[in-house]
Structure 1
């Protein structure tokens, strides 16, 4: 078996060494599930992706996503980063769209260029699914905030646009910044819920040019906190549109994430909620950091 090339990227980056780290491997069609999991554990980023066909299948590239502990059916920053890597390392020419084939179905990514260089990439997520709202009091204890820190004007609600997250609205930057999972209580509370990962947000921001400040806790995937989460922010975009948090069912905002981790991240959120549909798109920039290969 030949060695497996890979590229390391920063996704949803505001500059080099910001955003969420990602390793993308290609030429991985002969790797076993165990080998993919071992490579993901060796890299030890929140996710590592494997392009298992370097030619399109049904118009898209078969791709698998692994955390250090498990395989995921979909994730956001791996989608943008993998589309970037396919354009840069496999296609090596300008294309307007790259489709990725996942367990959840095909996810399209639109590529925009400025002076011939890739700029913002946009992924179009699945139609959102909304679940029953959850009790405020218990989740205040789960995330370690006072009940009065939760914005009771909006529900605590699980949402999925391919991967489910519990969305919790808070009032202040201080509350978001001090939140910390009570792991024992968290494990009991989320055990039977349709979502276990948690996104908290507030309208106060560190950067006045952004509209929301976000943190995402993904303990259920073996990652205590994620610095930039496209799948979670897709759920957030759908939530904001449904509940008209921004004043209308149309969302077009920028979100900051990862600052508490020293990994400043910038995500662009778009959504339009109607009684029948709610298209969701999440955008961001990708920066190449390093290339190499795994010796097999």
Structure 2
């Protein structure tokens, strides 16, 4: 079976500096086992499979796999999948693209020359408990006085977020991957315009305690949850820019905008590989 394949660069400000995503189109004939095997083989943080929708309002359905498991929602796979779907000549039923995924229906819209998805409802919010926080601080080699706040911002993957005073503090983190096992921790800190410049207002890093442990270079789901928390709490304005990936020599950029009751997470997507995959 030959299926159309794309590999795209999501949230990149320059070539090969965003988060890569593999997209398999017309994957309705694949089994769960085949999807899991392909995602494990591509060895990217996520691989998506585009399917016919089952919900009458959806334009397409997507299943999102890491090399180890399936996710109900993830940010860069959402933008990358929507970009590939539209690049194949498809048109949405309404003025926004409606993606169906494990988390439900996710709107995606054009935002200038970018795509943006509406941050989905969080599954868990509120302060992080003492045991979970102690675990995370130990894994990131931080002390309680090093952070300003700790909140759950889980919209599917399970993100906990620590707010640090500055971008410099965020970039200085050197995690203990063995201790991090079982946790997904995001860290956010404000840019200092005098020291860091004005290209962004916040720096983010994403630490994943799965397998050997790894840092995700550019993370849409995490930034969606962070944006909801920061804007609701008044820490961030209704519109701002996020930088992520500097510690990994990447240059990811997110454009956050609150419109009415929705918070939109936008970024660039570019196709880097186009072809067929034989299953």
Report the TM-score, using the length of structure 2 for normalisation: 0.88
Asked if 1:260 corresponds to 2:255, the answer is no
Whether the aligned pair in 2 keeps the contact of 1:164 and 1:232 (CA below 8 Å) is no
- 1:190-215 CA distances to partner (integer Å, 9 max, x unpaired)? x5xxxx31110111264532000110
How far 1:160 moved relative to its partner?
2.4
| Matched residues, number | 272
> Match for residue 158 of structure 2?
164
1:224 and 2:194 matched = no
Residues 240-279 of structure 1 mapped to structure 2, 5 A cutoff? 240-246=230-236, 250-271=237-258, 279=262
Paired position in structure 2 for 1:97: 96
Q: Residues 221, 292 of structure 1: CA spacing in aligned structure 2 closer, same or farther, 3 A cutoff? A: farther
**2:56: which partner in 1?**
58
What is the CA–CA distance in structure 1 between the aligned matches of 2:218 and 2:23, rounded to whole Å? 17
Structure 2 distance, partners of 1:279, 1:93, is 20
Which one of 145, 148, 172 corresponds to residue 148 of structure 1?
Answer: 145
Shift of 1:280: 2.3
1:66-77 map, 5 Å? 66-77=65-76
**Gap regions ≥5 residues in structure 2:** none
Q: Which residue of structure 2 aligns with residue 182 of structure 1? A: 176
CA distance in 1: counterparts of 2:74 and 2:26, whole angstroms: 21
Report if aligned partners of 1:111, 1:121 keep a CA contact under 8 Å in 2.
yes
Residue 145 (structure 1) shift: 2.6
Say which of 118, 124, 128 aligns to 1:133: 128
1:111 offset after TM fit, Å?
2.1
Task: Give 3-state SS (helix, strand or coil) of 1:127's partner.
Answer: coil
Q: Deviation digits for residues 230-261 of structure 1, max 9, x if unmatched?
A: 11001100110232113xxx521000001111
1:45-70 C-alpha deviation (Å, 9 max, x unpaired): 110100022x7741321110011111
Residue 272 of structure 1: CA displacement? 7.2
CA RMSD of aligned residues (A): 2.5
Report the TM-score, using the length of structure 1 for normalisation.
0.83
User: Aligned residue for 1:10?
Assistant: 9
SS of the equivalent of 2:200 reads coil
Shift of 1:80: 0.4
Paired with 1:266 and 1:279, the residues of 2 have a C-alpha distance of: 20
The residue matched to 2:27 in structure 1 has which SS?
A: coil
How has the CA–CA distance of structure 1 residues 101 and 92 changed in structure 2, closer, same or farther, with 3 Å as cutoff? closer
Match in the other structure for 1:116: none
Contact 1:145 1:175 in 2 (8 A): no
